[in-house]
A and B are shown apart, each in its own frame.
Chain A
Amino acid sequence: MSATLPAPRGARRNASVLLRPAAKPLLFVASLLPLAWLLYGALANTLGANPAEALIRATGDWTLRFLCLTLAVTPLRQWTGQPALLRFRRMLGLFTFFYGVLHFLCYAWLDMGFDLAEITRDIPKRPFALVGFAALLLMAPLAATSFNRAIRALGAKRWQALHRLVYAVALLAILHFFWMRSAKHNYAEVAVYAAILAVLLGWRLVAHLRRRPVAAG
């Protein structure tokens, strides 16, 4: 995404809050709160009758929420004229991966008892598990190249091309959620996330289509 757009007049006043040194540590702590809440729930036995299921579902929910937040940074930055928002995108992206890994670990441990043979049999057998796993795998190279040196080593263009994989991650993640809920025709929550992702990805598509003629000229 082009980071060179000038911020609209009058926007800079509010940017100072986002630029405060404490902003990033605060976001970091806030992003760990869901995990803290789940750990507390597991220890205090407040996760209901089936805590394993509750943990698997909650970590999946939070992966999806962080994915939406990560993808919201660029559109929000332009709508609000706050380029400083970009400072938080990497952390949000890494937390998406973090909760995605936790989601997988919960499944592998609580559902499969870390039985590797069982897991490797289970994932390919079930399309909904397979797309979820694919989304996680696609996130790995993004997380691995999230530091500044990697950007320089790859070159900005190639780095950016690689990180567009996040769009595929979003599509696989929502498909994973949709298939998980498909038999019960219980799509209310799926629809909410699908709508949010559609807006976030649609915005990019529109921006891309608008930019093209300018680049050609």
Chain B
Amino acid sequence: MLIPRQARAGYLHPVASEITPRAAYEQRREFLRLLAAGGAGAALAGWAQRDALAQAPRAGKLAALPGARSGVAGASTVEKQTAYADATSYNNFYEFGTGKEDPARNAGKLQTRPWTVAIEGEVKKPQTLGIEDLLKLAPMEERIYRLRCVEGWSMVIPWVGYSLAELIKRVEPTGNAKFIEFVTLADPKQMPFVGSRVLEWPYVEGLRLDEALHPLTLLAFGMYGEVLPNQNGAPVRLVVPWKYGFKSAKSLVKIRFVEQQPKTAWFKAASHEYGFYSNVNPKVDHPRWSQATERRIGEDGIFQKKRPTQMFNGYEAQVGQLYAGLDLAKNF
């Protein structure tokens, strides 16, 4: 079968030889599952149930949050989705600890209701929206994005939410709004590592206004057909699929429209390592590791070579024009 590398929708397909046959892949997973479960019949039943559900099987752990398939170009990769268990147990969310397993362990105390997000700064309609209002603001879409972490691993996650642009349009930014600053919750009572000196809290991220308006930039409320688990940034987070994962701020409490480029948390911590843009770029290495390759969590076996990282995480056709004329080695 011929898979064109550049489809009309602008999505960059892998070449056919790079795709593991689905049957072979699933066989491997099932074998491992059975091995881990000691051949328990329950595991088999669970697996059969998963297959019966369509694209993004619900994990059945949290409240359902379905989304219609998104029509945005490039919004639904056909790659194999990361297992829910992996996507929810291997997280960076330093407010809950620096170990990958810490957020899943420590985020249980986070209260996601009531929850409000303050929208302020250079907008004609500054307002504070409750999470219920935000959920109703636009129709929910399912977007299956690649997620590339700056540490060199990646996942494929079905998010549920809508384009951030929907919200931006409603609050009407003024002519002075050049950037958006995203501020996340920093409550030492609910987040045991706020107070550690790993980063300056609250965690702050930022986007240029045109980046924020790009249809791929997602305001996400769910994943895998359910509301977000706490460790993945409940109740509302950002997902910017062509940038390293840390640009996608979790558990948002404030969205500020500003004139100057925001001082982001990672920029303040180590500006020579983490730039403002942080676009996924295999040609610009991190000072301590190469960015040329990545390990797909749960899919690449232990002994499998890491896969090559794509420019803009494979979303170059959609977002490349945002950076025309910008030296990406300097503006990393």
Contact = CB atoms under 8 A, between A and B. Distances in A.
A46 B38 CA distance: 13
A113 B273 contact: no
Contact of A126 (B153, B274, B287): B287
Interface in A168-186: 179-180, 182-186
Contact of A184 (B35, B198, B287): B198
Interface in B267-314: 269-270, 273-274, 285, 287-290, 295, 297-298, 302-306
B32 A45 contact: yes
A185 B86 contact: no
A42 B289 CA distance: 24
B89 A42 contact: no
B295 A52 contact: yes
B290 A122 contact: yes
Contacts of A186: 98, 198
Contacts of A185: 197-199, 269
A111 B306 contact: yes
Contacts of A110: 302-303
Contact of B100 (A46, A49, A125, A182): A49
Interface in A24-66: 42, 44-46, 48-53, 55
B198 A48 contact: no
B288 A183 contact: yes
Contacts of B270: 182-183
B90 interface: yes
Contact of A50 (B269, B274, B290, B297): B297
A51 B298 CA distance: 9
A95 interface: no
Contacts of B3: none
User: Chain B binding site: helix, strand, loop or mixed by DSSP?
Assistant: loop
Chain A, interface size: which category? 20 to 34
A49 B297 contact: yes
A92 B192 CA distance: 38
A133 interface: no
User: Chain A binding site: helix, strand, loop or mixed by DSSP?
Assistant: helix
Given A44-B36, A49-B86, A113-B306, A180 B288 contact: yes
Interface in B93-108: 94, 98, 100-101
B90 A183 contact: no
A52 B89 contact: no
A55 B301 CA distance: 13
A14 B193 CA distance: 45
A52 B90 contact: no
A109 B89 CA distance: 25
A128 interface: yes
Interface in B232-264: none
Interface string B147-161: 000000100000000
A179 B288 contact: yes
A50 B303 contact: no
A45 B289 CA distance: 26
B35 A50 contact: no
B273 A183 contact: yes
Contacts of B94: 184
B98 A50 contact: no
A30 to B, nearest CB: 26
Nearest to A122: B290
A53 B94 CA distance: 18
Contacts of B89: 48-49
Contacts of B303: 109-110
A182 B270 CA distance: 9
Contacts of A109: 303
Of the listed residues B199, B273, B302, the one surrounded by the most CB atoms of chain A closer than 10 A to its CB is B302
Given A183-B269, A185-B198, A186-B198, 11 more contacts: A42-B302, A45-B36, A48-B90, A48-B101, A49-B298, A50-B295, A50-B297, A53-B295, A111-B306, A179-B288, A185-B199
22 contacts: A45-B32, A45-B35, A48-B90, A49-B85, A50-B90, A52-B295, A53-B153, A55-B302, A113-B304, A113-B305, A113-B306, A115-B305, A122-B290, A179-B288, A180-B288, A182-B270, A183-B288, A185-B197, A185-B198, A185-B199, A185-B269, A186-B198
Interface of A: 42, 44-46, 48-53, 55, 109-111, 113, 115, 122, 125-126, 128-129, 179-180, 182-186
Interface of B: 32, 35-36, 85-86, 89-90, 94, 98, 100-101, 153, 197-199, 269-270, 273-274, 285, 287-290, 295, 297-298, 302-306
Listed from nearest, the 7 A-B pairs whose CB atoms lie closest are A49-B90, A113-B305, A49-B86, A183-B270, A186-B98, A183-B273, A49-B297
